[in-house]
Amino acid sequence: MEHLVDKRARSLRDLRISVTDRCNFRCRYCMPKEIFGADYPFLEREEILSFEEITRLAGIFSEFGVEKIRLTGGEPLLRKNLPDLIESLYKVSGIEDIALTTNGVFLPKYAKQLKEAGLTRVNVSLDSLNDKVFKKINDMGRGVQPVLDGIKAAQQEGLEVKVNMVVKKGLSDDEIMPMVHYFKKEGITLRFIEFMDVGTTNGWNYKDVISKKEIHDLINSHYPLESVEPGYFGEVAKRYRYAGTDTEVGFISSVTESFCSSCTRARLSTDGKLFTCLFAQSGFDLKEMVRGNASDEELKQAIRGVWEKRDDRYSEIRTEESQKSRKIEMSYIGG
């Protein structure tokens, strides 16, 4: 039994840390304006984990085998002095890769600091190159060019860039091939994300989902695709490359091709709750333990207990009833 416990504990490899529940976009996919308006009660500063608390917890997670950390939100670059956190995480033993998910708007300002602090990669969210469509998606009237400027700034500083596109039928499905043409030419990895029922405010309906197979077949009809072997166990994106090139395209298909059984990812919310699934309804409060003077060993035992008892299979058992259940919002738990 002890061998099985250790084996499961080692399978925790990737930690997503949400550092803010705010965003400078109110995207229809995770922060619709009609819900997250000017009067929405976001978390107070004292409710949010400090950099010191995050770094301490990251060190404990690294003892379980976590090698990769991704900072998410909301928009993580709204968090003041974020490069200081990255610099602290970079020094944590065992952490080999620190990445950031962002809408890209602040990258011209911060890319150099982020790189110098130890950031490895950025995933930039961009769902269309068409200003009219993109403004409709982000609900803030923001155009595409600031995001493209952010991508360029990140590249100039030597950061690896991937672009994430959520595809929703009737909203962004006509943008698939324009995005493919542009980012193939730029040599930037483009990843397509099936429209998911994360949270309860994005109006998800299965009829709005464009499947991974449909997107793959569309792209393949223009540019033949070659399968790429996974880089590691538990890799979420199904990877391909355009034939004859090194440029990749990926697919994250939690709706039509679930990957619950190989998940190695845990999530730490802005206010310090541990979640073992993106579709969870509740999390375990680590902040209460940290601020209650729990020892590292006590925190380690708590994390072990949560991780070893995980039985999340939402994407495998998605039903009409489970879709109606209240789930954590993307802006709170991070992508």
Measured CA to CA, the distance from residue 331 to residue 71 in angstroms comes to: 12
Measured CA to CA, the distance from residue 228 to residue 241 in angstroms comes to: 7
Measured CA to CA, the distance from residue 8 to residue 293 in angstroms comes to: 27
Annotated binding site for [4Fe-4S] cluster: 23, 27, 30, 260, 263, 277
Measured CA to CA, the distance from residue 21 to residue 74 in angstroms comes to: 5
Question: Which of 257, 264, 269, 256 has its CA nearest to residue 310?
Answer: 264
Annotated binding site for GTP: 16, 70, 101, 162, 265-267
Annotated binding site for S-adenosyl-L-methionine: 29, 74, 125, 196
Q: How does DSSP classify residue 139?
A: S
Number of H helices, E strands in the chain: 12, 12
Say if residue 170 is exposed, middle or buried (CB neighbours under 10 Å; 0-12, 13-18, 19+).
exposed
Annotated binding site: 16, 23, 27, 29-30, 70, 74, 101, 125, 162, 196, 260, 263, 265-267, 277
Strands 121-125 and 225-227: unpaired
Instruction: Kindly list the distances between the CA atom of residue 199 and the CA atoms of 16, 44, 98, 208, in Å, as whole numbers in the listed order.
Output: 17, 21, 26, 16
CB 22 within 8 A of CB 270: no
Position of tokens 């035992």? 301
In DSSP terms, 69 is beta-bridged to 15, 98
